[in-house]
Amino acid sequence: MNTSKTSAIALITGGSPGLGGFLAAGARDSLVGLRIDSIEVLPDPVDSFGWMGTVAYSGEVTLVGEVRPHMDYPEVTEICFFADDSVAERLPRFPNDVRRSWLCFSNQEEASTRLGEVGDTSRARIRIDRFQYIYQHSDVYNRARLVAGELLR
């Protein structure tokens, strides 16, 4: 189902089990600071109580964690960010998604300038926007645009 933000809000009030809370969390600015821009979600064929798909958000979120290369480095040469458990709840996710909260940057040049080269590992505080949450039963990962970043010593 491909819906607009307005339709996503309608889904929240429609009482879809499990998905309603996820969408509500993403739509309430006070909870995570993000707003749903687009949503394409289907019931998960593997987990009858779960969901899979893509949700694109606008709004900024600040996170603390570890900057490091993509888990498939050196085959995938992207700078990524793994959020600390203490801030991971700031990134919305489906209830059936048990992966660690991580993302790769859509603006890799900016990430390299602010956070170091691909292959480097360091602690950082970042601010992101345009968060794209993706959950499928394949090798996919979340993406976001790096707005600001500072290395922590």
Residues 62, 24: Cα–Cα separation, whole Å: 20
3-state secondary structure (DSSP) of residue 73: coil
Candidate from 1-10, 30-39, 82-91, 143-152 with smallest mean pLDDT: 1-10
pLDDT greater than 50 at residue 17: no
pLDDT in tens, 58-81: 999 999 999 998 888 787 789 999
Q: Based on C-alpha coordinates, what's the Rg of the chain?
A: 16
pLDDT greater than 80 at residue 55: yes
Query: In the predicted model, what is the mean pLDDT of residues 86-111?
Result: 90
pLDDT greater than 90 at residue 7: no
Task: Indicate the pTM of the whole model.
Answer: 0.78
Residues 9, 98: Cα–Cα separation, whole Å: 24
Query: In the predicted model, what is the mean pLDDT of residues 123-141?
Result: 90
